Amino acid sequence: MTDATVNTGNNLNLIQRIRRDYSPLVIGMVGLFLVVFVAGAVFTDDFLTWFNVKTIIRDAALVGIMAIGLTFVTLSGNFFLLSMKEIAALSIICFATLMSADWNQWGTVGADPTTWSLTMTFLVAFVATMIIATIAGALQGALIGLGGNPIVVTLGAAGLFFGIGSWWSDNLVVSYRRPHGAEWLGTGSFIGDIPNITVAFIIIAVVAELTLRYTTFGRQVYLVGANRAAGRATGHENFGMAIKCCIIASVCAAFVAVAFSGQVSSAHVNYFSSEFGSSGDMTIMVIAIVMVGGNSIMGGYGSTLRTSLGAIFISSIDNMMVLNGFNSGARVLAVGLMIVFSIIVFALVRRGSRAVE
C-alpha cells in the first residue's frame, strides 16, 4: 500500500465519503438505530414539544455536567473515577451543612433574611464545597499519577469520601429553610423559562470543548491519553495531568451536588445512589454517558461535545420510554444496550479508519 495511492477524496460527495470511511455494518447499525429513534420520536405523543425538549435537556444537565468533568479523566488515559457519586455525596453534605448552620441567620432573629445574607451564606458554602472537592480530586489524581491503578484508588477513595459524609451528617437528611441562596441555581431561571441549570450545562459544555480544542492543556490531555510513554518522552508527564483532570472531575461533581441540593433544599449521602437516571446510581450513569458518547476508554480520542450529546441522547431515550409507559427495569436495560451498541459501533469505526495501515 504505497502512501501515494491513498485517495485524498476531496472530490467525493457526502454519501460517497460515508461509504468510503465506514463499513456497511456500521452504516447499517447506525441507520437502523436512527430509523427506530426517529420513528419513536414521531409516534410518541408529546415527545416533540418545546416543553418536553426542555425537560430532556434539564434532565441531562446534572448527569451531563458530571460526565463532562469525568471525560477529562477518561481522555487523559486515566480511565474513570469510580468515586464520582461519593465525591458528590461528600460535597452535598458539606454544602447543606454550611447552608443550614446557625451563623447564617444574619440579621434579626425571626425576621426574613436579607438578600445579602442569603448570598453570603451561599458563597461561603459554595467556596468551601469547591475547596473540599478540589482536595478530593487532587488526592486521587496524585495517587493515580504516581502509578496507582485508577480503579483501586478511586474505589478506595469512594469509601473514604462516603464514610466522611455519612459520619459528618450522622447519616441523616440535612435540610435548610427556603428562601435560601442556592434556589437560583436549583430551580431558578433568568432567561425566559429556560432553567439556569440548563444554561450552566450549555456553558460548561462549550467551555470544556473549547478548552480541549484550543488550549495547551487540552492538547496535553489528548497527547498523554493517546500514549502516556510518548507523552512523557515529549515532556508531558501524567502526574500533573492526572491531578488536573481529577480536580476538574471532582469540581464538576461538587457543582452538580450544589445544584441538586439547591433544588431540594436538603442533602443526604444517598442522594446520588438512588435519585439519578433510571438505575439511580450516579457513577454508573455518568460512565454510561461517557461511553455512549463514543469516547475511547483507553484515552486520547473523544471530546466533551460527544459526552454532552451522549447525555442528551440517553436522556431523550429515557424520556421517550417514560412517555410510553415503560417501567424502570426496561429503561435500565435500554441504557445498558445503548452502551454495548455504541461501544461496538465506535470500535468498528475506529478499526475501519486504521485499515489503511
Partner 1 sequence: MADQPLLRLTDISRHYGAIQALKGAAFEIGRGEVMGLVGENGAGKSTMVKIIGGFDTGFTGEYFYDGEVRHFPSPTAAEQVGIAIAQQELSLIPTMSVAENIFLAGDGVPQIASRKTLAKMAKPFLEEVGLGHVDPLRSTTRLSVGEQHLVEVARLIAHNPQVLILDEPTAALGETDSIRILDMVNRLKEAGKSVIYVSHRMDEIFKICDRITVLRDGESQAPRAAADMDVNSLVEMMLGFELGDMYPARKPFSRTEPVLKVRDLWPDGIIEPISFDVYPGEILGLAGQLGSGTSEILGAMAGSTKTRGGKLHYKGEEFLPTRPKDTIRRGIAYCSEDRKHDGLFLGRPIMENLSAPSLETISSKGFLNGTKELSTTTENAVKFTVDPKRLPQEAGVLSGGNQQKVALGKWLSISPDVILVNEPTRGVDVGARAEIYQILRDLADQGAAIVVASTDIQEITNLPDRIVSFYRGVQIGELQLDDMTSANILEQITDPFHEAGIAVSEKAS
Q: Which residues bind partner 1 (CB under 8 A)?
A: 1-3, 5-9, 20, 214-220, 222-223, 226-227, 229-237, 296, 300-301, 353-357
DSSP 191: B
Of residues 70, 65, 97, 96, the one with CA closest to residue 83: 70
Q: Which is nearer to partner 1, 192 or 235 (CB)?
A: 235
**d(Cα 233, Cα 299) in Å, to the nearest integer?**
17
Whichever of 42 and 229 has its CB closer to partner 1, that residue is 229
Comparison of 212 and 267: residue with beta carbon closer to partner 1: 212
Taking the complex as a whole, the smallest distance from the CB of residue 20 to partner 1 amounts, in Å, to 6
Residue 337, classified by CB atoms within 10 Å of its CB into exposed (0-12), middle (13-18) or buried (19+), is exposed
Q: In angstroms, what is the minimal distance from the CB of 206 to partner 1?
A: 16
Rg (CA), the chain: 22
Question: What is the rounded distance in angstroms from the CA atom of residue 338 to the CA atom of residue 341?
Answer: 5
Please tell me the distance from the alpha carbon of residue 130 to that of residue 250, in angstroms, as a whole number: 9
Smaller CB separation from partner 1, 5 or 108: 5
Tell me how far, at minimum, the Cβ of 168 lies from partner 1, in Å: 37
Least CB distance to partner 1 at residue 199 (A):
25
Closer to partner 1 by Cβ: residue 62 or 212: 212
Q: At closest approach, how far in Å is the CB of 188 from partner 1? A: 33
280 bridge partner residues: 276
Q: Cell numbers of 196, please?
A: 439556569
Q: Which is nearer to partner 1, 156 or 240 (CB)?
A: 240
Instruction: Tell the smallest beta-carbon distance from residue 213 to partner 1 (Å).
Output: 8
CA distance 228 to 222: 10
Q: Give min distance, CB of 142 to partner 1, in A.
A: 16
Q: Of 301 and 326, which CB lies nearer to partner 1 in the complex structure?
A: 301
Residue 81 φ/ψ region, left for φ over 0, alpha for ψ in the -120 to 50 degree band, beta for the rest? beta
Pair 126, 95: CB distance under 8 Å: yes
Least Å from the CB of residue 151 to partner 1 = 22
Q: CA torsion angle for 260, 137, 332, 315 (degrees, to 10)?
A: 50
Choose between 12 and 305: whose C-beta lies nearer to partner 1: 12
What are the φ/ψ torsions at residue 278 (nearest 5 degrees)? -75, -30
Residue 193 CB: number of other CB atoms within 10 A? 8
Q: How far is the CB of 2 from partner 1 (least distance, A)?
A: 5
CA-CA distances (angstroms) from residue 73 to 80, 233, 249?
A: 6, 20, 7
> In the complex with partner 1, which residue's Cβ is closer, 20 or 177?
20
